[in-house]
Amino acid sequence: MFFGRCERVFCPHRLFRRRFPRLLTAPNGLRYITGMKRRGDSSPGAGIRHAAEKANSYNYAAAAFIVLISFLNPSKTSIVRDPTLNVLLITLDTTRADRIGCYGYLQGRTPNLDALAQNGVRFENAYAQVPLTLPSHCSIMTGTFPFSHAVHNNAVYTLASDKLTLAKILKAQGFKTAAFVSSFSLDSRFGLDLGFDVYDDNFQEGSPSERRAGQLYPVFSNWLDGVKDERFFCWVHFFDPHLPYNPPPPYRDQFSDRPYDGEVAYMDFVIGAVMEKIKERNLLGRTLVVVAGDHGEAFGEKGEAGHGIFLYDMALKVPLIFSAENHLPAHKEIPPRVRLIDVMPTILDILNFPRSESIQGISLIPYIQGNQNEDLESYIETYYPQENLGWAPLFGLISRDWKYIRAPREELYNLKSDPDETRNVFVVERKKASAMKGSLDKMTKESLVPGSSGKRVLTADEQERFRSLGYVNYSDNTPVVEAPDPKDKLDELKMIRDAEEFEFEGNFQAAADLHQKMLSLRPGVAASYDNLALAQARTKNFDAAIQTLKQGLEKIPHSEILLSRLGHTYLVAGRTDEALTAMAEVLKINPQHIDALAASALALGNMGKKEEAREYFERALAVDPGNKFVLTNYANFLAVDGKIPEAVEIFTRLTQDFPQDDKPFQLLGITYGMIGDYDKAIENLKKAASIKPSPSSYYYLAISLKEKGDFAEAVRYLELYLEDPKGETEPRIKKAQATLEHLKKLRNK
């Protein structure tokens, strides 16, 4: 057994007999891994404590040892199909297989993933169908290629509600279903919540686009505690190895020269906590655990740093592990190529459930049993170059030893003789390329299914959240007859990635300089002006941002993107009348533009036009009734307007919909304080402070306690507030200091 005690590894050849090192997990995982911010967090209490510090004791030779004993200790290949098994699916965002110990990476620190591989089945050559988070997960969950589920990119697609998903099937079979995701790319609005009873995509207000593995763990743990004897299907998604690479302490220091490996090691640590929880609940022997990467990551090979642009193996090869005690063999390695679309049908086969004809993947059970050893043919694609950068999309086919990529300059690689894809043999192997191109065309034409998942227009908030994840947009989505090959745009790609890196670092002036260069290359694209103006606004140079947007509108009149950004920029610059005028122009083009409606409501509220403001808020909510930003601002507006019961109703709903977000609780507490209900004010403000300790929570809690007459507690929270009032205004800090001094005098009397 693993996750918690030493195990003697027996080799029938008697070449090795040794203690397998204890695998590092947190026996009380929650104690060690909560309270961590996503990027650049050096605040007290943000790091992992003593258990993580012990990670250095992991034997780096263990990874090689696991690989070796898998050959020397062949396991039984019998499969026990069992419909009573629970299913735990763990997906690893942006995780390369060759950065995990059990895949031969001796510098890796992944004891928990290695243990799962040691006790289960590891697929050596698993391929994603698309190097992007949302479409790849759609392939995992539907068992179909992107041309069938019709989700081709992050953000702008939604999985159609009529698609058959793994969660739908298992829910129909009586499973409790729950998902816990760590990236806005998988927000429920994009359709992957189909079939889930619980779909937790709530992120902290400070990081509205993602959360660390340690922030996700307690939510998963609390849910599992509520599961009694029911069968369950639980999907846990970790996002940590995604750019920018910035693991939390102590991994930040331990992997200072290899931060990506640090992110993977930290993620593995939390996977250990997840498995410890499964073991604690005595579920290990009754749970099928599946670990799958969604796509890989390029580290500069072939000109790409990141993923989404090209279809080379570094962005497509992923880890894939199946483990089920007493149901699947241990120490089993499967060399043939398999695909992420095969995950769903394999799970169904292990559960002994029938496979729908709509599923394009196959069960991998014959491979595990040794009855099949042929490489599986795989379709691959990326629309990201076209839809985000205005370049040509790429499509490809991997068949036996060959990979063909359809591009303006076509590519063909022999993966057996050239695994690093350094030699494009398209010219000398035209016959092979032509045959694979024909197979690619036939596959896509014959496999298309009726209907299509919906394409959507991003709101300004959604654009910002994807931008914070590194997904920029430099395309105006107008058809291009001869779009350039991404291979011919490597200099431009580097400029874009450098600008992203500057933005991650907070160096917005350097980012603005690069966006200015991009504008000179793409003067006819609205996104060029939008990106530059946003960077300028972040340097507080609102006049420059406004001038950039006006310049763009002269070039591209009636651009919805530029008019909307102009309105927002006027609003944050305090030019309310001009903001309202700009948003009115947006609403002439698109009467349901939710950002324009919300911004107009805020502008009218600032101008004291309460009835008109309320009308715009309600129009916005008619378009998107669950929009968190609109609901929060509407409730604030109602509270200030004295309509406390309505405000309380909305804030209460937000606390229920976003139980891991401190802001709704804080605002609800402040609202109760406005009507003198200090008991409820204190209750909600304490909840906010427990979720995310912050100066503002401490301040309002202290004021409520003071008004209730609990001076001792008010003093305690004012002192906490003044310890680190970062981000607070000078007048509020001075008021807190004066109030604290006054309360101390009263206490001394």
Which range has the worst mean pLDDT, 54-63, 354-363, 481-490, 557-566?
54-63
Report CA-CA distances (Å) from 36 to 129, 184, 473, 647, 655: 32, 18, 29, 31, 21
- In the predicted structure, residue 8 carries a pLDDT above the cut 90: no
Which range has the worst mean pLDDT, 101-105, 441-445, 650-654?
441-445
Whether the Cβ atoms of residue 119 and residue 323 lie closer than 8 Å to each other: yes
Question: pLDDT at position 659, please?
Answer: 81
Which range has the worst mean pLDDT, 192-201, 331-340, 476-485?
476-485
pLDDT digits (tens, 9 = 90+) for 82-91: 999 999 999 9
Q: State the virtual CA torsion across 255, 260, 264, 266 in degrees, nearest 10.
A: 50
Q: Which residues of 431-460 are buried (b: 16+ CB within 10 A; e: fewer)?
A: ebbeebbeebeebbeeeeeeeebeeeeebb
pLDDT digits (tens, 9 = 90+) for 281-299: 999 999 999 999 999 999 9
- In the predicted structure, residue 22 carries a pLDDT above the cut 70: no
* AA letter at 710: D
Q: Read off the pLDDT of each residue in 724-731 and give the average, rounded to a whole number.
A: 89
H or E element, residue 237: strand 232-238
- In the predicted structure, residue 60 carries a pLDDT above the cut 50: no
Question: pLDDT at position 12, please?
Answer: 28
pLDDT digits (tens, 9 = 90+) for 297-339: 999 999 999 999 999 999 999 999 999 999 999 999 999 999 9
- In the predicted structure, residue 663 carries a pLDDT above the cut 50: yes
Q: What is the rounded average pLDDT for all residues in the chain?
A: 86
Question: pLDDT at position 5, please?
Answer: 28
What does the block give as tokens for 412? 């063909």
Q: Read off the pLDDT of each residue in 114-118 and give the average, rounded to a whole number.
A: 98
Question: pLDDT at position 460, please?
Answer: 66
Which of residues 56 and 584 earns the better pLDDT score?
584
Tell me the C-alpha distance between 308 and 72, whole Å: 39
Q: State the virtual CA torsion across 144, 145, 147, 151 in degrees, nearest 10.
A: 80
Tell me the C-alpha distance between 47 and 96, whole Å: 25
| Domain ranges within the chain, ordered by starting residue | 7-370
- In the predicted structure, residue 73 carries a pLDDT above the cut 50: no
pLDDT band at residue 467 using 50, 70 and 90 as cut-offs: low
Which of residues 456 and 619 earns the better pLDDT score?
619
Q: Read off the pLDDT of each residue in 404-421 and give the average, rounded to a whole number.
A: 97
Question: pLDDT at position 476, please?
Answer: 64
Tell me the C-alpha distance between 199 and 179, whole Å: 5
Tell me the C-alpha distance between 291 and 272, whole Å: 13
DSSP-derived 3-state class of residue 370: coil
Counted residue by residue, the chain has a size of 749
Q: Read off the pLDDT of each residue in 68-87 and give the average, rounded to a whole number.
A: 70
Strand partners for 290 = 89, 322
Domain spanning 7-370: CATH superfamily: Alkaline Phosphatase, subunit A (3.40.720.10)
pLDDT band at residue 369 using 50, 70 and 90 as cut-offs: very high
Strand order in the sheet with 402-406: 378-382, 394-399, 402-406, 411-414
- In the predicted structure, residue 165 carries a pLDDT above the cut 80: yes
Question: pLDDT at position 451, please?
Answer: 44
Question: pLDDT at position 226, please?
Answer: 93
**pTM of the predicted model as reported, rounded to 2 decimal places:** 0.79
Tell me the C-alpha distance between 128 and 255, whole Å: 27
What does the block give as tokens for 130? 């698309």
- In the predicted structure, residue 238 carries a pLDDT above the cut 60: yes
Tell me the C-alpha distance between 391 and 138, whole Å: 24
pLDDT digits (tens, 9 = 90+) for 732-745: 999 999 999 988 88
Among candidate residues 331, 358, 329, the one with its CA nearest the CA of residue 345: 358
